[in-house]
Amino acid sequence: MISSVREYFNTGKRSLYLFIIPITLYLIFFFLYPVLYEIYISFFDYSLGSPKTFVGLQNYVLMARDEQFLHSLITTVIFVVSAVSAELALGLGTALLLNYESRIMDIIRTVILIPTVFTPLVAGLVWKALYNPDLGVISYYLRLLGIPIGRGLTVERSTALFSVILVDIWEWTPLIVIIILAGLKSLPKEPYEAGAIDGASSSQLFRYVTLPLLRPTIIVAVLIRAMDALKIFDIIWAITGGGPGTATTVANLRIFQVGVQQLRIGYASTLSNVLLVMSVLVGVFFIHVLYSKKYGGIR
């Protein structure tokens, strides 16, 4: 007679497999296998429709001299770092502004969620129209205000990357706001009372009480955003297609061009490996934080 779930799982191993095996097999076949295949194929000269030839490290040598790809890596880093830090700063500020209990605040907190539900491609197409150099509403108002935008924000090399970052900020700052609002709600009251008795100003309370207590929340929020920003594709594809020139070509876009458009699958896999390493590093840090007491891990 089995009288506890743990005992059941520990003795009747077969039923444990019933719960775990399906997802394990699924991930092995549709996640691990594609990734391993991608690593394997990166040592081949392989274009769709032509035979595979083993070329050893040739693709990697090629990559080290591929300025277009190296440039796309730099663009990726600039994109991720500026988008996420802007979202953190704006998100923290907005959360502090909205951290009041009232009916209106409830409505506002609901409204700001809408961008996060937006199909990223649709968001990109909407902003592309708004940015249109001649007929776009944004271009019109900026010119009206006397702000020089050249031929248009998305067309000028100097502002194109900024213009796609702004769309990412629009879509994802609300995520940070929501996470930080939840963090603020769960803060203990005692440190504030103690601080107030000691005569701390509200900016001191923020600097020495709120921020340190929010640290774990902020780290999780930033890592979730960093992982997702590293995946950026739809918005840039829709708004600039990577241009002008290569000004907004992030690594994802470059790999897509090489792999899906030029069908150079072997070489695209080599490039993918770099991105894979970058995202796994961020991912591993994220997992570490989720489980680590030091960061106030949530599990």
Among residue numbers 129 through 168, which ones bind other proteins (CB under 8 A)?
129-130, 135, 137, 140-141, 144
Given 187, 200, 282, 295, the residue binding other proteins (CB under 8 A): 282
45 sits in which H/E element: strand 44-45
Q: In the complex with other proteins, which residue's Cβ is closer, 60 or 286?
A: 286
Give, as ranges, the residues between 192 and 211 that touch other proteins (CB under 8 A): none
Give, as ranges, the residues between 78 and 97 that touch other proteins (CB under 8 A): 94, 97
83: how many CB neighbours lie within 10 A of its CB?
25
Given 14, 51, 102, 117, the residue binding other proteins (CB under 8 A): 117
Given 116, 200, 205, 241, the residue binding other proteins (CB under 8 A): 116
Q: In the complex with other proteins, which residue's Cβ is closer, 15 or 85?
A: 15
Give, as ranges, the residues between 20 and 39 that touch other proteins (CB under 8 A): 20, 22-24, 26-27, 30-35, 37-38
How remote is the C-alpha of 294 from its chain's centroid? 24
- Site for other proteins contains 230 (CB under 8 A): yes
Distance CA 291, CA 289 (A): 5
- For other proteins (CB under 8 A), the number of binding residues is 91
Crossing angle for the helix pair 120-131 and 157-185, nearest 10 degrees? 130
What is the SS3 assignment for 188?
coil
Contact 248, 75 (CB under 8 A): yes
Give, as ranges, the residues between 244 and 273 that touch other proteins (CB under 8 A): 252, 255-256, 259-260, 265, 268-269, 272
Structure tokens at 69: 């790809």
Q: What torsion, rounded to 10 degrees, do the Cα atoms 86, 90, 93, 98 define?
A: -150
Stretch that binds other proteins, among 78-86, 117-125, 149-157, 204-212 (CB under 8 A): 117-125
Contact 89, 142 (CB under 8 A): no
